[in-house]
Structure 1
Amino acid sequence: MFTARNWQRIKSGYRGPEDFYPLRHVGIREWGRGFTLPDSAVLGVNIDALQPGRHTEFSITNLIHVTDSNGAQGILNDQCLKKAKVKQIGEELKVLFSWWSIQVSPQEVDRKKEVRRNIIDEQLRQTIQEPPPKNVRCLQEALLKQYISSPAFLEQSYYGNFKFTYNINDLIGEYKKSVCQGKDPVFSVLGTFKYNIEIMHTVAVHPPGVRIFEQCPQLPSEVISQEGTKWVWRPESTGSEIRVLKQNEGGSWWVDECYPDCRRWEFVSFAFYLPDENPEFPVQLEFKHLTVCDMEESQRFRPPYTYMTREEAEILYQLLRCRI
């Protein structure tokens, strides 16, 4: 079980340090000032005056599991997800989980961006005196880039070129049948993982009565909630950039980077607990669940060195398809 209620260093590695705060989905104002502006603090809103309910809400219907070429071939050969990853979640405490991330639909992203675009329009009207500059549309689009644009909303991945997508409630149903033996799973706040410019809020999905999670509060949290089959995510930071509106001595307006020019962005992962004595999650992951995505080029030297271009991944995808 957990033994700490503050930030603890889990490891330092290729992608930088990994810190963990157990039992809570830590809010953005508790991260420290560096790289920590929420959406509502950009464009001059006072971060200390951030009000509840200002978060953008996203409906979640799918979870994704991203893997490399070796992982995709193994999953398709087995026709299910058998292997889990060991995760350290405390001092001398390592647990087997099957990791899935939430996916926001492109339609949902477009709707929320349109709302944000209207907010920016109003802010520009209040800030810039009439007549509006000729480049007002460019100003709008430049400011919009800092919202709903982080890797959490992109098809591109840091972890591989192959993405398995599953309906969130169907996946939970499979877990209920296989791991929970028909009992309703419990959704607990495992904690918050902090990286250089990423924050991962984690939900532990587990059978009832597992002692490891007995101190974990159950959902809802401020970040994610469930009402029946409906899931809602409420991130504070949806972008990885900071852009500010400026005016020079001649009266011209432009959008400029500020220091720091990047900020931490949030995402949510579901960690499906797998007991040591039976570390398998027999979900039928068939070819219909698989798609190809770009892998972030900066990860091409990341072990186990399975980076592929989109074109190379598409070729392997077709080869795999012929074998099924």
Structure 2
Amino acid sequence: MFTSAKWQRIKSGFRGPEDFYPLKHVSHREWGRGFTLPDSCVLGTNIEFPKVGERPQFSITNLIHVTDSNGVQGILADQCLKKANLKQIGEDLKVQFSWWGVQVSQEDMEKARGAKREAVTKQLNQTMEGAPARDVGSLRDSLLEQFVSSPAFLKVSNYGNFKFTYKLNDLIGEYEKSVCKGNYPEFRVLGTFKYNIEIMHTVVVHPPGVEIFGQCPPLPSEVITREGAEWKWRPESTGSEMRVLIQGGDGSWRVSDCDPDCRRWDFVSFAFYLPDENPEFPLPLELRHVSVCEMERSQRYRPPYTHMSRGEAEEFYLSVLKGYERFC
């Protein structure tokens, strides 16, 4: 399946290159420094990579599939999710997947922010010994803005205005029935995709015995673990900005944006394999599964140029539903 010993460049385009490291969920240390820094690196100059147990932990309960106006219209009409384009995962190897991202709960985000707040407060008190609590609090709040704030944790989307949301274990059940023919699917480490400011760790879901995934290690990985029906995600980088604590010549402290001030952020995708002979993933579609969302500002004018304002998207969605009375 995979012929590259380490990583390979899949493509280059106007939005930047796409690199793929197969068979492994690659840590930030392995990609090198530069834009690729974990949360633990951005509070000062002493860079230390966290141990696995020190990473924040988020429960994976829901998965989301985001699409544009053309996609949502086609999905509702077909009552089926299809992958229109093949994904290159090796030399001369392209495979069809249904792609899903992780949706993190508000409760888990607040828990992670609270833990980071305590850690940053402790570090600042040690670094700025004797500083007034008001100064510590102001600097802490400024530093905290770079944590649990990347697009992986936002309600806006990079890919379109229409979001399909399902419980992960419900999706697995539907995939077992429709694609695996009643056999329980396997979950393996497909690899890591690297973009300009994103790192995507991918889990491949496939029927038992699919030869092309035979080399892929089974879960768990350092990033994704599973115990029964419980799934956990442990990212290294939860923000897309870099801010550091700096002491001036007069002894005062301030928080400064780095130059460049951006860094790569982690997210997870589940790639449900769709065999060539049956490239469909039929799912029960109900109103509760579909919602309208804003599109991230920087992504609104990317091809195929289908961005809508939230009001336009809601109006379009209602007009689509009128054509499918079974959803009303």
What is the 5 A alignment of 1:1-324? 1-44=1-44, 46-48=46-48, 50-132=50-132, 134-323=134-323, 324=327
- Conservation of the 8 A alpha-carbon contact between 2:44 and 2:246: no
Return the offset for 1:128.
1.5
Deviation, 1:187, is 0.4
Paired residues of 2:52 and 2:222 also in contact (CA < 8 A): no
Q: Residue 255 of structure 1: CA displacement?
A: 0.8
**Residue identity matched to 2:208:** P
- Residues of 2 paired with 1:86 and 1:96: CA distance? 5
By how many angstroms is 1:136 displaced? 3.4
How many Å separate the matches in 2 of 1:214 and 1:196? Answer: 30
Contact 1:81–1:285 (8 Å) recurs in 2:
no
Q: What is the alpha-carbon distance in structure 1 between the residues aligned to residue 289 and residue 104 of structure 2?
A: 16
Structure-2 separation of matches of 1:138 and 1:250:
19
Gap regions ≥5 residues in structure 1: none
Is the partner of 1:190 in helix, strand or coil?
A: strand
Shift of 1:320: 3.1
Shift of 1:46: 4.2
- For 1:304, what is the secondary structure of its paired residue? coil
Q: Is the 8 A contact 1:87 1:97 kept in 2?
A: yes
- The amino acid that maps onto 2:120 is I
1:76-126 Cα shifts (integer Å, max 9, x gaps): 122221344310001110000000011111121111111111111111211
Q: Could you say what secondary structure the match of 1:243 adopts?
A: strand
Cα deviation, residue 301, structure 1: 2.5
CA deviations on 1:261-312 (whole Å, 9 max, x unpaired) are 1111111100000000110011123222011111122223211110111221
8 Å CA contact 2:121, 2:136 repeated in 1:
no
Q: Is the 1:188–1:217 contact (alpha carbons within 8 Å) kept by the matching residues of 2?
A: yes
Name the SS for the 1:43 alignment partner.
coil
Cα distance in structure 2, aligned partners of 1:165 and 1:7: 32
Tell me, what secondary structure is at the counterpart of 1:239?
Answer: coil
Deviations 1:197-237 (A, max 9, x none): 11001111000111110111111111101110000001111
Partners in 1 of 2:83 and 2:177 — Cα distance?
18
1:131–1:55 distance in 2 versus 1, CA, 3 Å: closer
SS in structure 1 opposite 2:177? helix
The letter of the residue matching 2:8 is: Q
Which amino acid in structure 2 is aligned with residue 130 of structure 1? G
* Amino acid of the structure 1 residue aligned with 2:243: R
Equivalent position amino acid for 2:187 in 1: F
With the length of structure 1 as denominator, give the TM-score of the two structures.
Answer: 0.95
- Range 307-316 or range 101-110, more displaced: 307-316
User: Matches of 2:269 and 2:112 in 1, distance apart?
Assistant: 21
Question: Identity across aligned pairs (percent)?
Answer: 66
Structure 2 CA distance for aligned equivalents of residues 167 and 55 of structure 1: 24
For the Cα contact (< 8 Å) 2:80–2:280, is it kept in 1?
A: no
Q: How has the CA–CA distance of structure 1 residues 230 and 301 changed in structure 2, closer, same or farther, with 3 Å as cutoff?
A: same
Which residue identity is paired with 1:111?
K
Shift of 1:186: 0.5
Instruction: Tell me how far 1:45 sits from its aligned partner.
Output: 7.1
In 2, the alpha carbon distance for the partners of 1:101 and 1:129 equals 43
**Cα root mean square deviation, aligned:** 1.6
Query: Secondary structure at 1:13's aligned position in 2?
Result: coil
Structure 1 residue 141: Cα displacement: 1.5
Paired amino acid for 2:231: W
Alpha-carbon distance between aligned partners in 1 of 2:122 and 2:2, rounded to the nearest angstrom: 47
> How far is 1:238 from its partner?
0.8
8 A contact 2:40–2:48 mirrored in 1: no
With normalisation by structure 2, the TM-score equals 0.94
Distance 1:247 1:46 in 2: 14
Aligned length: 324
